[in-house]
């Protein structure tokens, strides 16, 4: 199923992130995958449920204890409706859903990869481009600059199967995207456009560049989990919205 590939691809990407972020950790227990960067931003520390736990209550207990041991706010991302017992357990513990994102996929190579002629995209390779990428991520995703720097260290540029792209409009760095490869396809991640440059084709063009790179590397599918604001843009690029929603629960 396409939805399964997207979910497994997301898990693989988080594993990779925790591998290049200093202090990042990955742990597993009874169907639960814990991926923590240990950075001081709750959006960068999460747990997933790739497989149905044999003991749902015990799995939730383990997950919460692991977050609390690290003095992090517990958070778990679930595919809506896939694990009703865990949803009920989280709800009973006072967890609430704070984010909902639909899974979207697109076959590669894609037929609709047109961008904007006014936008140029290049692969991030220099320290200057990396600094610009971090600055955009910091502003768009409301990350403290030190957190953005730690979340995307220089080592991230050297990870096999992951590439980062920087978009400029009239020479001004204003957009970002990443592509992450796994056996499940290519994830399009970190797509961001500075507010002043939205509506100019920046997000569309940098996303197309990331997808084109992934196709050139042999990926047959691109997946992503967009915000509601960006969903229409991805549909225009050729992505299809699946009947699968990721819900982030936090205590």
Per-residue HEC secondary structure of the chain comes to: CHHHHHHHHHHHHHHHHHHHCCCCEEEEECCEEEEECCCCCHHHEEEECCCCCCCHHHHHHHHHHHHHHCCCCCEEEEECCCCHHHHHHHHHCCCEEEEEEEEEEEECCCCCCCCCCCEEEEECCCHHHHHHHHHHHHHHCCCCHHHHHHHCCHHHHHCCCEEEEEEEECCEEEEEEEEEEECCEEEEEEEEECHHHCCCCHHHHHHHHHHHHHHHCCCCEEEECCCCCCHHHHHHHCCEEEEEEEEEEEC
Residue ranges, CATH 3.40.630.30, the chain: 107-242
The predicted model scores a pTM of 0.93
Query: Confidence class of residue 113 from pLDDT cuts 50, 70 and 90?
Result: low
Cα angle 236, 237, 238; round to 5: 90
Output the average pLDDT for the chain.
95
Is residue 105 within 8 A of residue 240, CB to CB? The reply is: yes
Assess whether pLDDT exceeds 90 at residue 188. Answer: yes
- Model confidence over 92-101: pLDDT tens digits? 999 999 999 9
Region for 64 from its dihedrals, namely left if φ exceeds 0, alpha if ψ lies in -120 to 50, beta otherwise: alpha
Q: Give the pLDDT confidence score for residue 91 in this predicted structure.
A: 96
pLDDT at 90 over 80: yes
Give the burial string for 70-79 (b: 16+ CB within 10 Å, else e). Answer: eebebbbbbb
Give the separation between CA 85 and CA 65, rounded to whole angstroms: 19
According to CATH, what is the number of the domain 107-242?
A: 3.40.630.30
For residues 216 and 25, what is the distance between their CA atoms, to the nearest angstrom?
A: 31
Q: How many CB atoms lie within 10 A of CB 229?
A: 9
At 213, the pLDDT band (50, 70, 90 cuts) reads very high
Mean pLDDT along residues 52-67: 97
pLDDT at 229: 85
Question: Tokens 């995703």 — which residue?
Answer: 141
Between the CA atoms of 77, 249, 106 and 82, what dihedral angle is there, to the nearest 10 degrees?
70
User: Does pLDDT of 209 surpass 70?
Assistant: yes
Condensed to tens digits (0 to 9), the pLDDT of residues 138-187 reads: 999 999 999 999 999 999 999 999 999 999 999 999 999 999 999 999 99
Please, what is the angle between helix 84-92 and helix 56-69, to 10°? 50
CB neighbours (10 Å) of residue 58? 13
């Amino acid at each position: 199923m396409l939805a399964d590939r997207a979910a497994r691809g997301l898990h693989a990407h988080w594993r990779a992130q925790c591998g290049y972020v200093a202090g990042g950790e990955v742990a597993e227990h009874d169907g639960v995958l814990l991926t923590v960067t240990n950075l001081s931003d709750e959006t960068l520390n999460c747990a997933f449920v790739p497989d149905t736990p044999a003991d749902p209550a015990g799995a939730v207990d383990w997950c919460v204890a692991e977050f609390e041991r690290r003095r992090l706010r517990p958070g778990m991302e679930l595919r809506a409706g896939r694990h009703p017992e865990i949803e009920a357990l989280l709800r009973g513990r006072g967890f609430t859903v704070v984010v909902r994102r639909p899974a979207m996929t697109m076959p590669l190579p894609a037929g609709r990869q047109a961008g904007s002629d006014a936008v140029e995209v290049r692969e991030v390779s220099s320290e200057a481009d990396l600094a610009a990428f971090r600055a955009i991520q910091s502003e768009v995703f409301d990350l403290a600059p030190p957190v953005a720097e730690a979340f995307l260290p220089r080592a991230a540029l050297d990870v096999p199967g992951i590439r980062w792209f920087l978009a400029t409009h009239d020479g001004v760095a204003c957009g970002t995207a990443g592509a992450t490869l796994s056996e499940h396809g290519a994830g399009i991640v970190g797509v961001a456009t500075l507010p002043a440059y939205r509506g100019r084709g920046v997000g569309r063009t940098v996303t197309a560049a990331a997808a084109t790179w992934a196709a050139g590397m042999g990926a047959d599918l691109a997946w992503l989990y967009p915000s509601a604001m960006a969903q229409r843009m991805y549909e225009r690029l050729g992505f299809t919205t699946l009947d699968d929603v990721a819900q982030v629960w936090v205590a």
